[in-house]
Structure 1
Amino acid sequence: MAEKVYPPLVMPEGVGRERVTVWSGGIALDADVYRPSTVAPDAALPAIVMGHGWGGSKLTAERYAALFASAGMIALTFTQSSWFGSGSPLQPVGDVRDVPGVEDGNEALTRVRIIRELVAPFAWAANLRAALDYIVGEPNVDPARIGVWGTSLGGGVAVYVAAHDDRVKALSVQVPAIAPLSGPMAQLARKRAIDTARGDFDAFPQDVDPWPDMEGTPHLAELAHFDPMAQVDRLRMPTLIIDAGDDELFPIADNGGRAAEVLASVPGNVVDYQVIPGITHYGIYFDGYEPGSRAALAWWERHL
């Protein structure tokens, strides 16, 4: 598939980018680390791990990551498994044969199917946790000052992970998909989950259940159980939510707006909910980029 074209990155002066590999469950994730070009050897800097949305890649967040690095932070962007430059799950197909000469029974030969462009939210969450593991090991990163940024579906994944990982000290999500599936799609997803568990539907679906105007395959059996909204009240870090006033994909009252209400109802929580008027979902990367990116930067500077 062709990746969505965003405005090009103009690398700020004093920022470097290094291509790295994050390993998640044995799958190689294509990633980039952005950092100030000059860092004192003993410096301990805040770090941001960044997750893209459906159909995106590490490049979705490159302008944001470069901006954060220009302000003295270290940022990691990565591509979710089975998309673009990242590796994929492998599904065995056909008969499995033991490898001659291997006596312990732990190796076999088989044909495999390479799974591509699968939207699997729990796998995405595991990949985000692996990215957090990676950034904690990066030189000059202060493990006590880690933030997570997510956009669109990646925003829902960021909420889910942050609710269960106390390494996340601040959270910023934009145009997030936080509400669970509803209506006929939820009914189909529950059927897919049942059929998958009973072996009547593919555990790694490909080219089925098309989503309107989106590439790839939604893993409905996973999406049936993926409910970031149910985790929002577990968030205990300062949280910024930015929505598009005319979001046509995820009704903001049911997603970002509702999450902000839940967070504000918990005593002691720090939450800021902003709506950028006059832009659609993808407008967040165009007319909404300047206010959205600057709000996130200010959030990190205030809370990390």
Structure 2
Amino acid sequence: MRSTIGAGVGVLALVGALLAGCSSQPDRAVASGDASDAVVASDFDLSRSSIDPKPDLQVDGTQLSIGSAGDGRFVDVDQDAVLLGVSMFNLKTGKALGQAADLPAVSVSFLRGLNSPVYGAIADALKGQRVGDVFTLVVPNVDGADPSSTDGSGAGDVVVIGTVRDSFPARAHGAEQAPVNGFPQVVRDTTGRPGLVLGDEYSSAGAPESAVLVKGDSKETAQAGDTVQLQMTMFDTSAKTRSAKVLQSTWDDGQLTQLKLDDSDDAFLGLMERTLTSVPIGSQVIVHVPTSYQSQVGDLLVIDVLARTPAAE
């Protein structure tokens, strides 16, 4: 027998805080200051094109002020994925630095791995924040943030106005389900990343369409029309070497897959809609993709269903 992730974890070990979210506010990693208080915003607006300039303010370190407090779960910076709205401005001129955006769902570690002082500061600033917060973050002396620089290399102080739209565990959470004939054993490492234990003669040809591996403990279920946030690993069980068996995985960098559960004439998208609709949030499912679909995603998918946005939203 061989495993695609080496020594696997046979049971789903989850910390209570991961299941329920933080119940009390963690200590903040970034404090407020004169600069962040001077430009703090109480609302997040994707159309905001400028802020009041503060040319005389001196900033020695990163500062964070909360302009409007949310009432959702506290962000677990070690375990969560987040949905953020972000806009950036130059502190001295007040001018926007690029377009404001709603970011795709990512783990907090993904933000730290971007090799960006601004996104690294955002990752630090999320500790102690909760869903619904509107925050203003000032990051000093960022290369490329001076709009008056002719070659784009000048440094400037960056004001980030953002909001925490959602935060949720970045792995499945719930009750393990009994194995289903036709599918291989699924194991997980300590982060929740799945792998397969495959016999030398395994073939997915006789596998059923899908099975629930972990039944999520959320009262919410994915519904038709929802947009769902997913961790997804694509396996090609016919590959000759172990390294080739994982075609692609969101676990590699922490950027999740987003999928709208719509009726579709496309065979693969229809399979996704059938499989994920009515599944409790927090579930992990395994999906068999027939070779006739020619979907380029392999023959088995392991998917963690982590959050939903209803169609009306």
TM-score norm. by structure 1 comes to: 0.24
| Greater C-alpha Rg | 2
TM-score norm. by structure 2 comes to: 0.24
Higher relative contact order (CA 8 A, sep 6+): 2
Q: Which structure shows the higher helix fraction?
A: 1
Q: Which structure shows the higher strand fraction?
A: 2
